[in-house]
A and B are shown apart, each in its own frame.
Chain A
Amino acid sequence: MRGFGAYLLALAAVALVAATTALWLPMWGLASAALLFLLPVLLASARGGLGPGLLAAGTGALAYNYFLLPPRFSFQVHGIDNVVSVIVLVAVAIVTSRLADALHARKVEAEVRAVASAQAAHFAALLGNGEPDEAVAAALDWLRDHYGPAQMLPMGQVPDAEPDFSTIDRSAAAWTMHNGDMTGHGTAIMPPADWTFLPLSPRGQSGGDVLAVARPADGKTRSETALAQLQSLAWLLGQARDRLALDAERRTRERLEDRDAFRRALLASLAHDFRTPLTVVTGTLDRLAGADEGAAEALDEARRLDRMMDDLIGAARIEGGALAPRLEAVDLVDIVGDACATLGKTLAPLTLDRDVAGDLPLVAADPILLRHVLINLLDNAARHAESRVSISARAADGAVNLRVRDDGPGVPPAERARIFERFARIEGNDRRGGSGLGLAIVKGFADAMHMTVTIEESPEGGACFQLDLPIRRIEAP
């Protein structure tokens, strides 16, 4: 109860007290009557605040003086009584109105806070409901119902075409995106803007997305309380958006994990299950090969199939990042001898020049991977050679340089960079098919073992692959 009514109430209360005390003075005595004048002051200052309280105190003092204090019905004062009563009444008015004001302010604040937290709770419930992107849309709709036009602006995308935004709006939006401050209408930064821009996450945290809310339609300036409320809603929105991003990330990860599990299962199947029928096929062909030329050829192809499976498994290991080479001292004569023996049938129709000395330095390599690399290089050479394949090794500059050459058509310079790609085939140069993975595996395994592999033209005109293997330093055993 504020304003004019409070003053009227003050005067009416004083009048009532003055009338009753004037009438009953002989019975009550002066001291009790004086006390009664506190009542209108208390009432007026509690209900109406300081103004009505002071009015009640002033008029009360006058009425007390005029009606009660001897000589009655005059403003003459004989003692100090009146001064004391005036001071007491004014003091009561001041203290009571202060107390009442504070109580009132606290009540209003509590109401505002209750509304704000109810809004926030409702908003959070909307955001937590159902699919995250739909929830964010529903929450924005609710915001529009309660605060007028609102939209979310993703980081860095102040829509130039947005007709509602003036130049200053765009500047304010950009400021919020980059600095994480609340800007625009109602705030300290660029207040002439027509929109208020609020960051979706506290300053310094990820993202620069922004919530834009238009100034109130009634033309009023948005209050600090409303701004604080909008900011907390914006943060809720930001959290929901983060959850959206996390959800999407999790789904992608799950999909990848599924694919990895499938790949692992496929690899295990290739490594074990496929080998059983292949063992039966090669074993049976092997028994027949002595008597039947067709069986001997089929056996050759079955062995090739087995090597292709090694390539497939190797390619999958490179692809899956599952290569963990164990580098140790390796004697090249072992690996070269093993690779040549494995490819015995493939190399048989060709002349094989082997120039790998028995006293070359030991190299640092993973023996299993290096063996696969050499088999693939020799197999590739054998498939393209006219009549001759050569393998040689020389020590130079802390490395052993290994070369595998053939006397086939060679690889044109333009194609050389491409030759280590998977399924790279050189036009008109494919006499017998390999897996298409062989050289990619050479490159992948060599990289994993910190070796370089290059290709150039061999003196015989064919291809010459070079592998540089680091020399292994060994302390005396």
Chain B
Amino acid sequence: MSRILIAEDEPAIRRLLGAILTRAGHAPVFAENGREALAVVERGGIDAVLLDLGLPDRDGLEVLSAIRSRHALPILVVTARGDTTEKIAALDLGADDYVTKPFDGDELLARLRSALRRAGHAQQADTPVSFGPVMLDAGRHEVTCRGASVSLTPREFAVLQALVEAGGRVLTHAALLERVWGKAHIDDVDYLRVVVRALRLKLELDPSQPALIRNEPGIGYRLVG
């Protein structure tokens, strides 16, 4: 059981989120605005935050970075559909994931679960890391998928390494491009598409219906276990 803070100004949505979390065995704590949310987090004992970006008193992104600057706990933001830029900004400010209204209860719980799991065990570099069927040894620059060795170009390896280390968290296009190609290329989504395409052809069981590297339209990529 985890204590989850729900920062949401709409009472109906608050109740709905509370019911979804309670049913899944979590203990919801509520805040109606940004100030209250920050106070609850400061008091401690919170395992994760569901943060609506449309809070009445303060800009949601501001609340997000205020929490993130002092605490490492998982933060999931709740946004309206279509606000791609807002989602990207939230991810860049350190949000672990996002859900879009109207959200699907199972999807929400799954994302919360994996965010909590990631928070549970931080990974160290230079040791073999894995995600689902993928085992990656950064020190020896080797990758195996479902037990079979896969040969990757340096770019492909770097992109896969970033995704594996994120452990199911969404990485924005800009974040991936900056890490692998450098700051000058953060707008060159085309490069990323080519490399992800190559990775899928090498890793996916059925590249025509990729199940491992998932695309978030207009936002980025994540690995799905």
Contact = CB atoms under 8 A, between A and B. Distances in A.
B120 interface: no
Interface in B1-58: 10, 12-13, 16, 19-20, 23, 54
A472 to B, nearest CB: 7
B200 A280 contact: no
A397 B11 CA distance: 55
B13 A280 contact: yes
A310 B81 contact: yes
B193 interface: yes
B152 to A, nearest CB: 14
Interface in B47-100: 54, 80-82, 84
B171 interface: no
The 5 lowest CB-CB distance pairs between A and B, nearest first, are A358-B207, A477-B191, A334-B215, A279-B102, A329-B190
Nearest to A364: B190
Given A279-B13, A282-B102, 12 more contacts: A276-B101, A277-B12, A278-B102, A280-B10, A328-B193, A331-B215, A333-B208, A338-B217, A354-B208, A358-B204, A362-B193, A474-B191
B105 interface: yes
A329 B195 CA distance: 12
A337 interface: yes
B208 A358 contact: yes
B20 A283 contact: yes
Interface string A336-358: 01100000000000000011111
A444 to B, nearest CB: 16
A287 interface: yes
Contact of A477 (B80, B105, B190): B190
Interface in A283-313: 283-284, 286-287, 302-303, 306, 310, 313
B122 to A, nearest CB: 30
**Dominant secondary structure of chain A at its interface with chain B:** helix
Contacts of A283: 13, 16, 20, 102-103, 105
A332 to B, nearest CB: 9
A271 B16 contact: no
Interface of A: 271-272, 275-284, 286-287, 302-303, 306, 310, 313, 328-331, 333-335, 337-338, 354-359, 362, 367-368, 371, 472, 474, 477
Interface residues of B, number: 40
Contact of B207 (A272, A333, A354): A333
Contact of B210 (A284, A333, A368): A333
Contacts of B105: 283, 286-287
28 contacts: A271-B80, A272-B54, A272-B80, A275-B102, A276-B13, A279-B16, A281-B102, A282-B104, A283-B16, A286-B105, A287-B23, A306-B102, A313-B82, A329-B194, A330-B193, A331-B197, A333-B208, A333-B209, A333-B210, A334-B210, A337-B209, A357-B208, A358-B207, A359-B201, A362-B194, A472-B190, A474-B190, A477-B188
Contacts of A281: 102
Interface of B: 10, 12-13, 16, 19-20, 23, 54, 80-82, 84, 101-105, 155, 181, 188-197, 200-201, 204, 206-210, 215, 217-218
A338 B217 CA distance: 8
Contacts of A333: 200, 207-210
Contacts of B181: 477
A368 B19 contact: no
B12 A280 contact: yes
Given A278-B102, A477-B190, A371 B201 contact: no
A283 B8 CA distance: 15
Contacts of A354: 208-209
Contact of A368 (B192, B193, B197, B218): B218
A335 B209 CA distance: 10
Contact of A328 (B104, B189, B196, B207): B189
A276 to B, nearest CB: 5
Contacts of A474: 190-191, 193-194
Contacts of A334: 210, 215, 217
A284 B20 CA distance: 9
A331 B192 CA distance: 11
A333 B190 CA distance: 15
A335 B217 contact: yes
